[in-house]
Structure 1
Amino acid sequence: MTNKTMSGPVHLPDPTRPPAPTPGCDVCEALDRQRAQAEKAKNHRRATTCEMEIRRHPRHEGQQ
């Protein structure tokens, strides 16, 4: 017999918004400052690179 119930909705982050740095993480905060500076300078490639690095940076234990 097949289960006919549906699972809940999937919630994905908004890809148009920059990722939030992990609070208290010097690396994430530095990358976020670099991202903001790159956006101000209209260097979209660098800003995107910083965003990718923030997203890939491991979350620190106890800080989520």
Structure 2
Amino acid sequence: MAAKKATKKTTTRGRKQDRARVAGGQDYEVRYEAKKTGRSAPAVKKAIKKVGNSRTAIEKHLANKG
């Protein structure tokens, strides 16, 4: 048997989800990331502006600042 290829989930509207990114304009995503990393929401937004919206890059940046 061939291994299954990892695919992105499809939303009810037929769009692809990308959980590897943080949407800086979505307050619930910023709050989630802030709670997860133990930092404030403004700190997360600042990290998004500095390192981009990659979830791993943001978490790494916030961990180094803490």
Q: TM-score, normalised by structure 2?
A: 0.25
Bigger share in helix: 2
Q: TM-score, normalised by structure 1?
A: 0.26
Decide which structure has the larger Cα Rg and report it.
1
Larger RCO, structure (CA 8 Å, separation 6 or more): 1
